[in-house]
């Protein structure tokens, strides 16, 4: 059997010079050669483990492609598997258990498992990242922490209801529950989740993450239901909410630091049938907003830049919740944010803090509404104002008056397309002549997922057309998409459109006229991005079907 050194050299994994250097370090520091090669990054982990497996008669596996026996997972506890960073692959009737390890020199794991379970362990090698992923897939996020907590207190097999929720201080495992909540948050952030959902159902706890606009289930420990009241109490304590109140909705905020990055958490708690449901919105404390990176084509970008460069007028961005309206407006404000301009925003809530900009958050409990705040902010001599959303006639009237007195106003409306913007304002009671005098344009947008760059490939469709799609890989969690860009449509108030608005035309009539004038629609902008290989027709259909 060839030695590890011979195998590495024969396969061209490492040069003779680097190997000699590693051997010298290993000899002088009394450290195993494989440890030196791994710690110094001289050999890729997969290549190193392949070579070690060949030299020592072991098998190397890719856990994602390897069937894992549920019986083996049930036999080896999450606590033990996480502690030694191993994954049980199979267990035979003769008492032999196959276990995947990433450190072939650590025999303590083998000895402890054999002693604890009374089995004989057969090792196979797997990369550390594969084992991390498999531990979450088969045991669930935080499973080892849940087992550690419950091993210190008896498990209560009682349905958890609102009335039975306990304060975190009563659980006797504060630090462990803190670790569990931190672990769930950290894992969500590492997967680029924007929202984390905790839901209590009759048959247990469901934890879901929203990634690129889509909700995905998170595998969690089945026994987490016992700790659910403590988890909710911990989240309430983090956000300064009333841990005793379980009958009414509550909203709060918190700031956390994970891997030296600060995140703002917006927390919403509502009572449900079997407990309290929680949604945590995860927002980086600092973000760089750049119009050029949102997905606009050169023509759209020029039109948008021209509009925000105007000294006065209103730009309305329309679309449903989650369509990226606020992000676009933040990017516009970042472009306008200079020492020569006074910029004020009125938001509900303030999602991101922008340095150099005065940001005010609504508080309906004390009567601070969009309309009242907007009226007061005019006395602060602003050049640019952003109104988070025009929801009623009073806010719309003040926004129009603000634009007429020489201010640039950016705001949003909840309509399905750009043509519906004018009709919505008219329905609110705004005179058509005021709309045509102040509004520069209505802009509608959606967010489409982009094809994962790592697994992007060109495939032939049934109609013979070649299109890009994502095959699915570890980086995109096998979905074929990673990240999102905007698709949009602009409705500038040119004379033909203004004439229709003055006649109180319907959104359908305005849309037909815009099409006749050659203004690209949301779907047409999306198709252009499909042809560029940025997204797929299936994804475009998903976000524009209701448009």
3-state secondary structure 7-73: HHHHCCCCCHHHHHHHHHHHHHHCCCHHHHHHHCCCCCHHHHHHHHHHHHCCEECCHHHCCCCHHHH
**pLDDT mean over 25-53:** 74
Which has the higher per-residue pLDDT, 314 or 167? 314
- The C-alpha atoms of residue 307 and residue 355 are separated, in whole angstroms, by 23
Q: Residue 284: which pLDDT band, with cuts at 50, 70 and 90?
A: confident
**pLDDT mean over 401-420:** 92
Note the helical H segments in 239-324. Answer: 298-308
The pLDDT of residue 289 is 82
Sign of CA dihedral 281, 284, 286, 289: negative
CA distances for 424 relative to 11, 196, 342, 386, 419, angstroms: 68, 33, 30, 19, 9
- The C-alpha atoms of residue 227 and residue 204 are separated, in whole angstroms, by 11
The pLDDT of residue 269 is 95
- The C-alpha atoms of residue 484 and residue 293 are separated, in whole angstroms, by 10
Q: Residue 138: which pLDDT band, with cuts at 50, 70 and 90?
A: confident
**Helix 507-516 and helix 495-502, axial crossing angle in degrees, nearest 10:** 160
What pTM was estimated for this model as a whole?
Answer: 0.76
Which has the higher per-residue pLDDT, 77 or 433? 433
Q: In the sheet that 261-272 helps form, which strands lie side by side, from edge to edge?
A: 214-218, 204-211, 195-201, 275-284, 261-272, 250-258
Cβ atoms within 10 A of the Cβ of 25, count? 17
Which has the higher per-residue pLDDT, 484 or 95? 484
- The C-alpha atoms of residue 23 and residue 421 are separated, in whole angstroms, by 71
Q: Residue 137: which pLDDT band, with cuts at 50, 70 and 90?
A: confident
The pLDDT of residue 172 is 40
Helix (H) or strand (E) holding 206: strand 204-211
- The C-alpha atoms of residue 473 and residue 66 are separated, in whole angstroms, by 15
277: CB partners within 8 A, 6+ apart: 197, 198, 199, 200, 269, 270, 271
Cβ atoms within 10 A of the Cβ of 310, count? 11
Closest by CA to 52, choosing from 91, 1, 88, is: 1
**pLDDT mean over 359-367:** 84
Which has the higher per-residue pLDDT, 263 or 286? 263
Q: What pLDDT, in 10s, does the model give residues 173-209? A: 445 788 888 888 988 998 899 999 999 988 888 999 9
Q: What pLDDT, in 10s, does the model give residues 428-479? A: 999 999 999 999 999 999 999 999 999 999 998 888 889 999 999 888 888 9
Q: Residue 147: which pLDDT band, with cuts at 50, 70 and 90?
A: low
The pLDDT of residue 146 is 67
Cβ atoms within 10 A of the Cβ of 543, count? 23
Cβ atoms within 10 A of the Cβ of 284, count? 12
Closest by CA to 412, choosing from 427, 399, 402, is: 399
Q: Is the peptide bond before 349 cis (omega within 30 degrees of 0)?
A: yes
- The C-alpha atoms of residue 214 and residue 498 are separated, in whole angstroms, by 38
Among 53-62, 149-158, 492-501, top mean pLDDT goes to 492-501
- The C-alpha atoms of residue 453 and residue 469 are separated, in whole angstroms, by 10
Which has the higher per-residue pLDDT, 317 or 105? 317
Cβ atoms 457, 507 nearer than 8 A: no
Helix (H) or strand (E) holding 316: strand 313-318
Q: Residue 219: which pLDDT band, with cuts at 50, 70 and 90?
A: confident
Q: Residue 482: which pLDDT band, with cuts at 50, 70 and 90?
A: very high
Poorest-confidence range of 142-156, 389-403, 461-475? 142-156
Task: Evaluate if residue 8 carries a pLDDT over 80.
Answer: no
The pLDDT of residue 333 is 93
Percent of the chain surpassing pLDDT 70? 89
**pLDDT mean over 156-176:** 39
Task: Evaluate if residue 159 carries a pLDDT over 60.
Answer: no
332: CB partners within 8 A, 6+ apart: 291, 304, 308, 315, 410
Query: Per the structure block, which two tokens stand in for 394?
Result: 């009073």
Cβ atoms within 10 A of the Cβ of 423, count? 19
Task: Evaluate if residue 144 carries a pLDDT over 70.
Answer: no
Mean pLDDT value across the chain: 85
Task: Evaluate if residue 508 carries a pLDDT over 50.
Answer: yes
- The C-alpha atoms of residue 458 and residue 536 are separated, in whole angstroms, by 11
Pairing of strands 456-460, 466-470: antiparallel
Which has the higher per-residue pLDDT, 39 or 401? 401
Closest by CA to 272, choosing from 244, 247, 292, 253, is: 247
Pairing of strands 96-101, 343-347: unpaired
**pLDDT mean over 509-537:** 94
Percent of the chain surpassing pLDDT 90? 42
Residue 106 falls in which region: left (phi positive, over 0), alpha (psi -120 to 50) or beta? beta
Which has the higher per-residue pLDDT, 422 or 8? 422
The pLDDT of residue 173 is 40
Task: Evaluate if residue 156 carries a pLDDT over 70.
Answer: no
The pLDDT of residue 160 is 37
**pLDDT mean over 85-102:** 89
**pLDDT mean over 228-251:** 91
Q: Bridge partners of 384?
A: 343, 408
């Amino acid at each position: 059997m060839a030695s590890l050194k011979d195998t590495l050299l024969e396969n061209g994994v490492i040069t003779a010079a680097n190997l000699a250097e590693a051997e010298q370090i290993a000899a002088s520091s009394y450290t195993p050669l494989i440890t030196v090669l791994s710690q110094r990054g001289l050999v890729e982990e997969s290549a190193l483990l392949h070579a070690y497996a060949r030299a020592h008669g072991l098998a190397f596996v890719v856990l994602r492609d390897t069937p894992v026996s549920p019986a083996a997972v049930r036999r080896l506890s999450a606590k033990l598997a996480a502690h030694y960073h191993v994954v049980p692959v199979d267990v035979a009737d003769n008492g032999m258990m196959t276990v995947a390890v990433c450190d072939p020199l650590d025999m303590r794991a083998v000895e402890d498992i054999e002693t604890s379970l009374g089995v004989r362990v057969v090792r196979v090698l797997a990369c550390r990242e594969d084992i991390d992923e498999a531990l979450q897939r088969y045991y669930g996020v935080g499973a080892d922490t849940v087992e550690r907590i419950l091993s210190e207190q008896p498990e209560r097999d009682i349905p958890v209801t609102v009335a039975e929720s306990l304060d975190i201080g009563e659980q006797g495992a504060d630090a462990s529950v803190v670790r569990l909540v931190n672990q769930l948050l950290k894992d969500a952030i590492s997967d680029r989740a924007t929202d984390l959902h905790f839901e209590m159902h009759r048959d247990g706890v469901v934890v879901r993450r929203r990634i690129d606009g889509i909700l995905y289930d998170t595998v969690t420990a089945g026994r987490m239901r016992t700790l659910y009241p403590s988890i909710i109490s911990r989240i309430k304590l983090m956000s300064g909410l009333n841990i005793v109140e379980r009958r009414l909705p509550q909203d709060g905020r918190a700031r956390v630091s994970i891997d030296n990055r600060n995140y703002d958490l917006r927390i919403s708690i509502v009572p449900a049938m079997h407990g309290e449901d929680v949604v945590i919105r995860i927002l980086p404390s600092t973000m760089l907003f750049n119009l050029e990176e949102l997905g606009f084509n050169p023509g759209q970008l020029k039109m948008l830049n021209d509009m925000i460069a105007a000294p006065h007028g209103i730009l309305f961005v329309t679309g449903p919740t989650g369509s990226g309206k606020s992000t676009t407006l933040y990017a516009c404000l970042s472009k306008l944010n200079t020492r020569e301009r006074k910029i004020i925003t009125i938001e509900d809530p303030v999602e991101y803090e922008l340095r150099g900009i005065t940001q005010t958050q609504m508080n309906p409990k004390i009567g601070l509404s969009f309309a009242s705040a907007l009226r007061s902010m005019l006395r602060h001599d602003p050049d640019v104002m952003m109104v988070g959303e025009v929801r009623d006639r009073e806010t719309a009237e003040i926004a129009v008056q603000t634009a007429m007195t020489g201010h640039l106003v950016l705001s949003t409306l909840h309509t399905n397309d750009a043509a519906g913007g004018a009709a919505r304002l008219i329905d609110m009671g705004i005179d058509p002549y005021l709309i045509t005098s102040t509004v520069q344009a209505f802009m509608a947008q959606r967010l489409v997922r982009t094809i994962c760059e790592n697994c992007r490939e060109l495939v032939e469709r049934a109609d013979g057309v070649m299109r890009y799609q994502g095959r699915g890989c570890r980086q995109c969690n096998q979905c074929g998409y990673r990240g999102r860009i905007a698709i949009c449509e602009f409705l500038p108030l040119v004379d033909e459109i203004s004439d229709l608005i003055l006649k109180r035309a319907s959104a359908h009539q305005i849309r037909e006229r815009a099409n006749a004038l050659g203004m690209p629609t949301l779907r047409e902008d999306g198709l252009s991005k499909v042809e560029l290989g940025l997204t797929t027709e299936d994804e475009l259909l998903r976000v524009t079907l209701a448009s």
